[in-house]
Amino acid sequence: MVRSSRYGLEEKAAFFAVFDRLQNTTAAARECGINPVTGASWVRKAGLKGRGKRGAGPHPGREEFFRLRSSGTSRKEAAARVGVNIRTARDWDLGIRQLRGCRVYPDGRVVVYNDAVRTVQIPRDPSAPLRPINARFLSLPEREMIQDLRAGGSSMREIATALNRPVSTISRELARNTDPVLGYLPHGADRKAASRRARPKTAKLRGQGSLRDYVQTKLAIRWSPEQISRTLVDEFPDEPEMRVSQETIYQALYFQARGGLKREVQTALRTGRTRRKPHKDPAQRASRFADPMIMISDRPAEIEDRAVPGHWEGDLITGAHNQSAIGTLVERTTRYVMLVHLPGDHTAETVRDGLIKTMSTLPAHLRGSLTWDQGSEMAGHKAFTMATDMQVYFCDPASPWQRGSNENTNGLLRQYFPKGTDLSVYGPEDLEHVAQELNGRPRKTLDWKTPAERLRDLLLTT
């Protein structure tokens, strides 16, 4: 069991105020009357380092992170390069120090994380310099300019042009921060805006009230957070305090789940989840198969323009309840069709063996490549490539047009194998008969030649 520190939050904040001035852990600890070892631990956990300090120190990538940021690198990319979480990188950018169980902000706030998140406001050291505010917020000099231009009779649009800001920014600034008696005062407006930025604020659904009761009532009858949020606007049009976003409701539910009310949360949410499902960046998603895929974007140009024969497109057509299937192969230049018999099932192993058997009947110069979608039946694509010396290229998700010839052929095959029928009743001879009929049809795209004639010409000329 971890023993709690005998020092309070005020002592920690006072220590860091002295440390910022002296940049020496031991001297700051001595001046504040605390144990130097404890002070050194606070400094190390906050990712800081005093002058002349030896030993572990801050994260080894911290200096490199700030060097990358100063050179214009984005926060996400800089964090990836030095190997830290994006939240840690954000804290470094904002000057937030992390201690056990709390976070110390540059303005002196200490946010304590325990059973109930609470904020302790610590007066800032007057000698400490003010940290520059983010450029997306109005600064004090800009507010002073707003006052001067407003006194000179400038319109809000003219003020926005002078400050290179949207007109809506100026309009909201004057509406929110103008004193009803004294008018717009830049320093007072700056203090008001700073007080609103303080985080975390008390959650809307934390305390008792009509809004909380309404949300609980609707969740009990299985309304979704979005339905609750939208209906509040209609039922209480003149009561702005009866407003809550669906995200706030979700956050309240997930917070309750962490507090032990998992069963109640499961009944309130249709998904039954007690924690959020992470949505990964597409670039960070795991590969579809164990063996890496080669995407269609990497396919050579001679395949794309159909100039070289021997490159195929493939897919499955499935029967009733997806219990049976037939493999379809179309040569991109001649539109020649081959059908793959899949007895019993269409697992990755069965499809792999069927494709190898079918492709082995072709001469080597007609075994160039195969383009397929990302269906699970192609999990054995590497073994297929090794057996046939044919590279497999995969289409992008939900992009059937990237295999246009095959999609068109599958539509033609439905004349013979209607949807919802059992395809397992067709044997290899039946599939060969259907393929011969399709290959004997004259095609407009082939100048009314048949695929069989085009393939015959290729075989005779090579």
* Digit-coded pLDDT (tens) for 321-336: 899 999 999 999 999 9
Of 29, 62, 68, 34, the C-alpha closest to 48 is 62
Both 146 and 15 in one domain: the answer is no
Residues 226 and 145 in one domain: no
Q: Does residue 256 belong to any structural domain of this protein? A: yes
User: Do 216 and 308 fall into the same domain?
Assistant: no
What digits encode the pLDDT tens for the residues 225-245?
899 999 999 999 999 889 999
**How does residue 54 score in pLDDT terms, banded at 50, 70 and 90?**
very low
2 occurs within a structural domain = no
| Residue 111 is assigned to a structural domain of this protein | yes
Please indicate, yes or no, whether residues 253 and 377 belong to a single structural domain of this protein: no
Closest CA to 368 of 458, 269, 240: 458
Cβ within 8 Å of residue 234, ≥6 positions away: none
Q: Which tokens hold the place of 247?
A: 């995200």
Q: Is residue 67 part of a domain?
A: yes
Residue 330: count of CB within 10 angstroms of its CB = 24
Between strands 369-372 and 311-318, the pairing is: parallel
Give which of 62, 5, 9, 13 is closest to 37, Cα–Cα.
5
Q: Is residue 48 part of a domain?
A: yes
Residues 334 and 415 in one domain: yes
From CA 103, how far away is CA 111, in angstroms rounded?
5
209 close to 177: Cβ distance less than 8 angstroms: no
Quick one: which of 3, 33, 1 has its CA closest to 18?
33
Q: Do both 233 and 321 map to the same domain?
A: no
Shared domain check, 172 and 72: no
Question: By C-alpha distance, which of 79, 70, 28, 76 is closest to 49?
Answer: 28
**How many domains does the chain divide into?**
4
* Per-residue pLDDT at 125 exceeds 80: no
Strand partners, 312: 331, 370
Mean of the per-residue pLDDT values for the chain? 82
Q: Are residues 253 and 389 in the same domain?
A: no
pLDDT digits 0-9 by tens, 363-387: 988 999 999 999 889 999 999 999 9
Task: Give bridge partners of residue 119 from the DSSP assignment.
Answer: 111
300 and 219 in one domain? Answer: no
Task: Compute the distance between CA of residue 227 and CA of residue 211 in angstroms, rounded to an integer.
Answer: 14
Query: Does residue 336 share a domain with residue 219?
Result: no
178 lies in some domain: yes
Task: Give strand pairing partners of 111.
Answer: 103, 119
Q: Are residues 108 and 165 in the same domain?
A: no
CB 223: neighbour CB atoms within 10 A?
17
One domain, residues 245 and 224: yes
Distance between CA atoms of residues 25 and 18, nearest Å: 9
Give the structural domain span for 69. 9-121
Structural domain contains residue 202: no
Which phi-psi region, left, alpha or beta, contains residue 286 (left: φ > 0; alpha: ψ -120 to 50)?
beta
In Å, how far from its chain's centre is CA 41? 35
DSSP letter assigned to residue 61: T
- Residue whose C-alpha is closest to residue 106's, from 138, 86, 75, 129: 129
State residue 388's pLDDT score.
93
What pTM value is reported for the model? 0.45
Greater model confidence, 445 or 8: 445
- Structural element, H or E, at residue 211: helix 210-220
Q: Is residue 127 part of a domain?
A: no
